[in-house]
């Protein structure tokens, strides 16, 4: 677009070429890439390893979103807060990680690509000694790529 002011032709920033370069919406709008590495978290109730309905929905949505991708690797890490003893927290974080991995496998993800680990309460206490409820979760890292 060129604006004529007092006999001078002035081009508005970025507008002079827009009509020529982007005649089609396809050149302006691109679908976001789905089959790329992703990270998501699944949260649990205090002292629980059972998936909540929200957790099941999050897992289902992620599995559906990545349907059609080549799932190359999935790392599932279970965590817990500092409440309870070390052995109990380790066991709890293991059960959380397995619950999430099993749900993803049930959604059709390939079992051989899973790495499941648990870190228990490691790092769950803040400097002030307060318990950290955000540690009641499982972290999932997914290496996904487009199918070839």
CA distance 18 to 12: 10
CA distance 40 to 75: 11
- Per residue in 41-82, pLDDT tens? 999 998 999 999 999 998 999 999 998 899 999 999 999 988
Q: What is the pTM of this model?
A: 0.73
Report the mean per-residue pLDDT for the chain.
81
SS (H, E, C) 37-92: CEEEEEECCCCCCCCCHHHHHHHHHHHHHCCCEEEEEEEEEECCCCCCCHHHHHHH
Backbone angles phi, psi at 146, to 5 degrees: -60, 145
List 115's β-bridge partners, or say none.
75
pLDDT (0 to 100) of residue 140: 94
CA distance 105 to 120: 23
CA distance 138 to 9: 60
């Amino acid at each position: 677009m060129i604006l004529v002011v007092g006999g001078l032709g002035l081009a508005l920033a970025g507008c002079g070429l827009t009509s020529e370069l982007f005649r089609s919406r396809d050149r302006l709008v691109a679908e976001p890439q789905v089959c790329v590495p992703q990270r998501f978290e699944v949260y649990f109730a205090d002292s629980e390893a059972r998936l909540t309905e929200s957790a099941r929905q999050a897992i289902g949505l992620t599995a559906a979103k990545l349907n059609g991708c080549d799932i190359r690797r999935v790392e599932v890490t279970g965590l817990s807060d500092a409440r309870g003893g070390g052995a109990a927290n380790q066991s709890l974080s293991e059960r959380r990680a397995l619950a999430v991995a099993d749900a993803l496998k049930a959604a059709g993800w390939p079992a051989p690509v899973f790495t499941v680990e648990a870190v228990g309460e490691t790092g769950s206490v803040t400097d002030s000694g307060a318990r950290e409820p955000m540690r009641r979760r499982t972290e999932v890292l997914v290496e996904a790529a487009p199918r070839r």
